[in-house]
Chains A and B, each alone.
Chain A
Amino acid sequence: MITLNHYIILGAILFAIGIFGVITRRNAIGILMSLELIFNAVNINMVAFSRFLTPTAAYGELFTIFIITVAAAESVLGLAIILAIYRKRQVLNADEMNLMKW
């Protein structure tokens, strides 16, 4: 019997892996990909909650659709910015993009 907790714990693990990636990946594209992991963790939670708690209204699924859309927009913009930076400075590593400090 699969319960709600199964899905949430899976989401938590995925979330933790995403955080690890965001903090440690040096490559800016890698950071973006890790962010997608975090989004997916959220999505799993959303759909699971929706199926178990409000199966007749599908709120979670609707939110998931919006999240996927926003994530797509986010990754498009993020990749565009990375590309622009790369063109200008030939840099892809996040720890080398440090112009915004003191």
Chain B
Amino acid sequence: MIELILFYAFAGVTIFSAMLMVLSRNIFHSALFLAVTLLGVAALFAMLGSFFIAGVQVLLYIGAVVVLTIFVINLTKQVIGQDVAQVNEYVLPAILTSVFSACLIILAVMKTDWGTRIAQSVAQSELTDNTALIGRQLLTNFVIPFEIVSVLLLAALIGAIAIVSRDKEVQK
């Protein structure tokens, strides 16, 4: 029962802050609401017993992505300072599209009978930590994707530097 309450609390926080993030007129506030959303998602991961993923979520998303975003926001302050409409003319079609897609997914989920696939329905108490399992998998069965992703990160790093620094050279 407590778990259910906790779930609804975290879910409520996540959805609420996500909506605030999307609707906020100030881009800086948006970034902060994004951080709250991500935190809520991390809490849900923890509730699912994936403490490692929850940790990665906090460290990588909030610690890196959101901070980076805030950096960029600060670097582009001149434009952000202006008080202009933060949404474009597609609000109504966008609402329709998003509501429709959510409804379709929910409908699909409701129609699906998970049946025997989770017949031995995993009790919440059984959702123990599986960090050790993930670590073992990453360095055995998934070692090649793991390496490829690290190369990808390196490429992204170099690409970002190249994109941002070329402008300076031209200015010199």
Asked whether B69 lies within 8 Å of A32 as measured between CB atoms, the reply is yes
- Which of under 10, 10 to 19, 20 to 34, or 35 or more describes the interface residues of A? 35 or more
* B105 to A: closest C-beta gap in Å: 4
> Per a CB cutoff under 8 Å, which of B93, B110, B133, B163 touches A81?
B163
Interface residue count for B (Cβ, 8 Å)?
87
Asked whether B152 lies within 8 Å of A70 as measured between CB atoms, the reply is yes
- On whether A58 and B167 interact (CB within 8 A), knowing A26-B85, A36-B61, the answer reads no
Main secondary structure on A side of the interface with B: helix
Can you list, as one digit per residue, whether each of B132-144 has a CB less than 8 Å from chain A (1) or not (0)? 0110011000100
Chain B residues at the A interface, C-beta cutoff of 8 Å: 3-4, 7, 11, 14-15, 18-19, 21-22, 27, 30-31, 34, 37-38, 41, 44-45, 47-50, 52-53, 56-57, 60-61, 64-65, 68-69, 72-73, 75-76, 78-80, 84-88, 90-91, 93-95, 97-99, 101-102, 105-106, 109-110, 114, 117-118, 121-122, 124, 126-127, 130, 133-134, 137-138, 142, 145, 149, 152-153, 155-157, 159-161, 163-164, 166-167
